[in-house]
């Protein structure tokens, strides 16, 4: 597949002036189009992103990561792309891992490929690691499929399949909502190991508010069927 023609990078950003230029420059080594959704930044994120060759779409006010991603996906489809590669704007994800996503999608026919940090989480803060493990097990139980890392935002997404799903969360729970929606629709999901980068990154996650939002979303989900994991054959974890 001609990935530079079929896929655009979509990067939601809120005050990421420190990292956005290097991230766009590195991502453009693998993809010709990088869409940056400036989610109400008060710094120079938008100007710097444009100077680095990114296509900048702006939210006047901060609406949240989920809202920014939906804006980016919509813009990518409007531009004719059938795939989107999402990356966090804080430099947490290494663009050097991008080819592995393409290879996994081509080899498996997956509609959603998610980065997996939890098999080798060295460098990830201890508390975040524990919370991610806990959330991943909860999502795995609800989805009825094997899940390696439910919270990673580094993802390759088939936009045609995504357009058939109803995603409504505006904040960090969007990662869980998307994974669960793909699983319930029967779309194939795969995972690829990625590098964990936390040296200079400051998380935008608010420990109390965003945990409460996730729990509120989780508690609102219908109970999973009382059957064993039903898709182990279609979800291979490296």
Judged against a pLDDT cut of 70, whether residue 165 lies above it is answered with: yes
Give the three-state DSSP class for 13: strand
More confident residue, 209 or 76: 76
pLDDT in tens, 187-204: 999 999 998 887 655 566
Overall average pLDDT of the 125-153 stretch: 89
More confident residue, 134 or 214: 134
Judged against a pLDDT cut of 50, whether residue 56 lies above it is answered with: yes
Residue pair 182/165 in contact (Cβ under 8 Å)? The answer is yes
pLDDT band at 234 (very low <50, low <70, confident <90, very high): very low
Looking at residue 199, what is its pLDDT? 64
Looking at residue 71, what is its pLDDT? 98
Judged against a pLDDT cut of 60, whether residue 231 lies above it is answered with: no
pTM over 0.85: yes
- What is the C-alpha R_g of the chain? 17
pLDDT band at 104 (very low <50, low <70, confident <90, very high): very high
Please name each of the domains of the chain with its CATH number.
Answer: 3-221 (3.90.550.10)
In terms of DSSP bridges, do strands 155-158 and 112-116 run parallel, antiparallel, or are they unpaired? Answer: antiparallel
Among residues 78, 81, 100, 72, the alpha carbon closest in space to that of 4 is found at 81
Looking at residue 122, what is its pLDDT? 73
Q: How confident is the prediction for the chain on average, in pLDDT? A: 89
Judged against a pLDDT cut of 90, whether residue 82 lies above it is answered with: yes
SS (H, E, C) 171-223: CCCHHHHHHHHHHHCCCCEEEEECCCCCCCCCCCCCHHHHHHHHHHHHHCCCC
Residue pair 52/59 in contact (Cβ under 8 Å)? The answer is no
Looking at residue 131, what is its pLDDT? 85
Judged against a pLDDT cut of 60, whether residue 228 lies above it is answered with: no
Percent of the chain with pLDDT over 90: 68
């Amino acid at each position: 597949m001609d990935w530079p023609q079929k896929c655009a990078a979509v990067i939601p950003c809120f005050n990421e002036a420190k990292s956005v230029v290097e991230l766009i420059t590195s991502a453009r080594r693998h993809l010709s189009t990088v869409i940056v959704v400036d989610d109400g930044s008060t710094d120079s994120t938008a100007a710097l992103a444009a100077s680095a060759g990114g296509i900048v779409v702006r939210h006047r006010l901060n609406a949240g990561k989920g809202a920014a991603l939906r804006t980016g996906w919509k813009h990518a489809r409007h531009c004719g792309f059938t795939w989107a590669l999402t990356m966090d704007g804080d430099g947490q994800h290494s663009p050097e891992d991008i080819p592995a996503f393409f290879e996994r999608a081509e080899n498996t026919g997956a509609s959603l490929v998610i980065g997996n940090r939890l098999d080798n989480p060295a460098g990830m803060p201890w508390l975040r690691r524990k919370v991610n493990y806990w959330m991943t097990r909860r999502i795995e139980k609800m989805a009825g499929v094997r899940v390696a890392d439910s919270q990673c935002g580094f993802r390759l997404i088939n936009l045609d399949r995504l357009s058939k799903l109803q995603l409504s969360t505006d904040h960090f729970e969007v990662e869980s909502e998307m994974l669960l929606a793909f699983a319930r629709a029967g779309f194939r999901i795969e995972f690829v190991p990625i590098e964990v980068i936390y040296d200079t990154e400051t998380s935008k996650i608010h420990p109390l508010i965003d945990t409460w939002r996730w729990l509120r979303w989780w508690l609102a989900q219908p109970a999973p069927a009382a059957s064993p994991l039903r898709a182990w054959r279609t979800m291979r974890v490296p």
